[in-house]
Structure 1
Amino acid sequence: MSVRVCCVQMAPEVGDVKGNVKRMSEYVDEVMSKEAVDMIVFPELVTSGYECGDMFIDLAEYVETSDTIHFMCKVAKKYAVHVVFGFPERRSREKKEVFNSCVYIDSDGHVCGTYQKMHLFGQEQNYFSHGTKFPIFNTPFGKMGLLICWDTAFPEAARMYSLQGADFLIVSSNWEKPYQDDWDLVVSARALDNCIPIAAANRVGKDKTLGFFGHSRIVGPTGKVIRSLDQDVEGYITADLDLNQSKRLRQEYYTFFRDRKPQLYTELTN
């Protein structure tokens, strides 16, 4: 089984939800007019921009009533393509019930669920609550796990998905300058840690004070880069993820799960 994934690298405008979603749909139009792609991945908070501050409270949307998600559902259905993107999610009227989330829409235009960012970075902690679950999404290609940006720096997050049987991981990110080398390293490290392929979309452009560098990448299960866009430019990359490769490699040399000793790791959670 394989899945052809596209990572879109774009620069959203702070607070311009309608404009950002329009550009997302234009990217889907462009990608699907040129090649057959199974899944398109956009960056973290691509609908709102990153440095929104208190605006996040007003920009946050309920999944069930979101105009943004409803529109992208129609786009996904039109092209029969799966779509993942980041947005500020509201769960209730309480301020603490706003999350930095990713939504997964299937090729029928149905919302399959959201993942709420577990590891909030810096100022995000002033506006978002952290997620508490690592949900597995069943896709036609295999089991998928979602991570958002800073989550990727934590080996435990990717391992949690792998222990649940994930076949591939998708990352939506707003990793900022000047930490390009860190980003490149952690994406490949999480792939190698778990012998699992990863598709990771990082944004470009500048918000109010932060700049972003791109380096979107599609990485194989041994951490080797299959495709990357290592320039600070908008664009996209596509590649096939062979989801059977991990199973073969885990039986041959990369026997991490067979050789691990969880009974010796109890101090990790103390």
Structure 2
Amino acid sequence: MTNQKHTTVVNSQRDRLSYLWLALGILLFAFGTIRWTIPLAAWLYPIFLLRFVRTQPLLRGILLVLLALVLVWEVELPGVVPAPILLYVPIVFGFGVIFTLPYLIDRVLAPRLQGLLATLVFPSAMTTIWYLSGLLNPYGTTANPAYTQFGNLPLLQLVSVTGLWGIVFVMSWLASLVNWAWERGFAWPRVRGGAVLYASLLALVLLFGGARLALFPAQGSTVRVAGITPSQALIAAANKQDSQNIDALMSGEGTQVARQLVRQAYAPVFDELLALSLQEARAGAKIILWPECIGGGTTLLQEDEAALLTRARALARTTGTYLDLGLCELLSHPVQSSFFTDESILIDPTGSVVWRYQKAHPVPGEPWNPGDGQVPTVQTPYGRLSNVICFDADFPGTLRQAGQAGAAIMLVPSSDWREIDPYHTQVATFRAIENGYSLVRQTGNGLAMTVDYEGKVLSASDYFTTDPQVMVAYVPMQGVHTIYATIGDLFAWLSIAGLVGLIGVALARRRKAGEAGAAEPREEPLPVS
């Protein structure tokens, strides 16, 4: 009996329609990533891209998907990623490769497996690629598919167990199962098992999330927290007046005259920040947070730090508040060739400096050296506080340190820009659910937001519609322990192990088929008379 190889090209009509699936997949992809996010689109586009790849010759299908994805990124990324124009080509190509690799792995491996086992290739590959990308690329977990589901709180509770990777797996398994059913003509008797299995899994995930939200809401005492950003007019005036001087000082070429001009330009900004801090303290805030230096315009000369801290410490002491200052300092002498630092300084109600935290993950191209990545925590009457800065929140491993330490409130001074707003703030909120703490992100040039440890929005303030931007929230003083904070990225590693196992099964079946073919008796030729 002759074995026939299975092909995913069912018939010529479907082969012709595959280009329609490519077009539909790319259209949905454009609305299922960073810039113009429609959450449902992120579930749907992999279905059609996977269908296209499976109904095309391997090389043609993969190259066309890669080209199409790169073209979409060429439209979406400019402005979203702050990089020189010459760097956009490798950045765009890199994102295109990351998104395409799971389709390549599925196209090569899935046809060599049978039944529902083959449907696990794509979600395992997707989870593996995105996890490794988050570890290795300088943009962290930016563009991870899970972030498109912001606001779907029952689904998002899954990250308290699996991190982002459980959501990535569930979303991509749908695409694989739909294609599995598609290849079987959607005949219910043939696809019932897979449909029931996936529906049951998704129902369990949503029931878990719904139960966590309904039965274990954030309760207990709260503390009033205020985030403040100076007025846009002050920031614009300071930046306009001294952008050239700052650029010169950052490159080490500035003069003493330039330093004096910078001092004069930003003095009104610090005056307003301290005045707003006093105002919010008198209104009852016990924790006050400034934004990251860039959006807040808080650029400070190193020699002026002592005077500013004296004023800030006096304010904290007289009002009994914790004051977290987002500052960029222009150094007198370079540290590892950089004249610039991006840091956050926490002052307690006694006027003491609790910590100086330097940004651990500068956005590629930012002109300062990274900090040591050690996330600080301190026990206070309002719960255990912790602190990172802006882009640090795109790196789950960094913020997991605070979850392991039992933090209750994570302070995240930040600065964004229109093209990345509000996506970047939404990304940060996932860290709160993962690690069981509330998160306060005061964002200059973007959306400031406070969420509790289940991702519920407690307060928000849009920089572009609020001037000066002040956000006030009553934040739970207790956090919770989460499974993710304990086990970390175990689910991602299980997905990697699963993918390796699937490769092993495929190789074993191929070897077995080869041995069976070799063992078949050959027909003897008829004798020639």
Q: Shared topology, TM-score over 0.5?
A: yes
Q: Which amino acid aligns with 1:8?
A: I
Structure 1 unmatched runs, 5+: 51-55, 204-211
1:264 Cα offset (Å): 7.7
Larger Rg computed on CA atoms: 2
- Tell me, yes or no, if the aligned pair for 1:3 and 1:243 is still in contact at 8 Å: yes
State the match for 1:23 in structure 2.
Answer: 272
Of stretches 132-141 and 104-113 in structure 1, the one that deviates more from structure 2 is: 132-141
In the alignment, which of 322, 326, 332 is matched to residue 82 of structure 1?
322
Of stretches 137-146 and 7-16 in structure 1, the one that deviates more from structure 2 is: 7-16
- 1: distance between equivalents of 2:275 and 2:416? 23
Q: 1:100-139 counterparts in 2 under 5 A?
A: 100-124=342-366, 126=367, 128-132=368-372, 133-139=374-380
State the match for 1:207 in structure 2.
Answer: none
1:122 Cα offset (Å): 3.4
Normalising to structure 2: TM-score of the pair? 0.42
Q: CA deviation digits over 1:104-159, x for unaligned, max 9?
A: 011122211210000001332x3x11100222233232222111111111111211
State the match for 2:292 in structure 1.
Answer: 44
SS of the counterpart of 2:350?
coil
- 2: distance between equivalents of 1:160 and 1:186? 17
In the alignment, which of 445, 450, 454 is matched to residue 222 of structure 1?
454
- 2: distance between equivalents of 1:261 and 1:25? 41
Of stretches 40-49 and 5-14 in structure 1, the one that deviates more from structure 2 is: 40-49
- 1: distance between equivalents of 2:376 and 2:425? 25
Identity of aligned residues (%): 19
SS of the counterpart of 2:227?
strand
SS of the counterpart of 2:345?
strand
In the alignment, which of 256, 266, 270 is matched to residue 484 of structure 2?
256
Q: 1:119-268 counterparts in 2 under 5 A?
A: 119-124=361-366, 126=367, 128-132=368-372, 133-203=374-444, 212-213=445-446, 215-232=447-464, 233=466, 234-244=468-478, 246-247=479-480, 250=481, 255-257=483-485, 265=493
- 2: distance between equivalents of 1:260 and 1:88? 32
- 1: distance between equivalents of 2:229 and 2:423? 18
1:259 Cα offset (Å): 5.9
Select the structure that is richer in strand.
1
SS of the counterpart of 1:37?
coil
RCO greater where, 1 or 2, for CA within 8 Å and sep 6 or more?
Answer: 1
- Structure-2 change in CA distance of 1:8 and 1:261 (3 Å): closer
Of stretches 191-200 and 255-264 in structure 1, the one that deviates more from structure 2 is: 255-264
Structure 2 unmatched runs, 5+: 1-220, 240-261, 497-529
- 2: distance between equivalents of 1:29 and 1:99? 26
- Tell me, yes or no, if the aligned pair for 1:202 and 1:216 is still in contact at 8 Å: yes
Normalising to structure 1: TM-score of the pair? 0.78
- Structure-2 change in CA distance of 1:62 and 1:119 (3 Å): farther
- Tell me, yes or no, if the aligned pair for 2:229 and 2:296 is still in contact at 8 Å: no
- Tell me, yes or no, if the aligned pair for 1:218 and 1:239 is still in contact at 8 Å: yes
- Structure-2 change in CA distance of 1:20 and 1:266 (3 Å): farther
Q: Which amino acid aligns with 2:476?
A: D
- Tell me, yes or no, if the aligned pair for 1:188 and 1:224 is still in contact at 8 Å: no
Q: Which amino acid aligns with 2:484?
A: F
The alignment status of 1:7 with 2:227, answered yes or no, reads yes
SS of the counterpart of 2:302?
coil
- Structure-2 change in CA distance of 1:46 and 1:265 (3 Å): same
SS of the counterpart of 2:427?
helix
- Structure-2 change in CA distance of 1:92 and 1:18 (3 Å): closer
1:267 Cα offset (Å): 11
- Structure-2 change in CA distance of 1:258 and 1:75 (3 Å): closer
1:172 Cα offset (Å): 0.3
| Number of aligned positions between the proteins | 242
Of stretches 254-263 and 219-228 in structure 1, the one that deviates more from structure 2 is: 254-263
1:261 Cα offset (Å): 6.8
- Tell me, yes or no, if the aligned pair for 2:384 and 2:408 is still in contact at 8 Å: yes
- Tell me, yes or no, if the aligned pair for 1:17 and 1:48 is still in contact at 8 Å: no
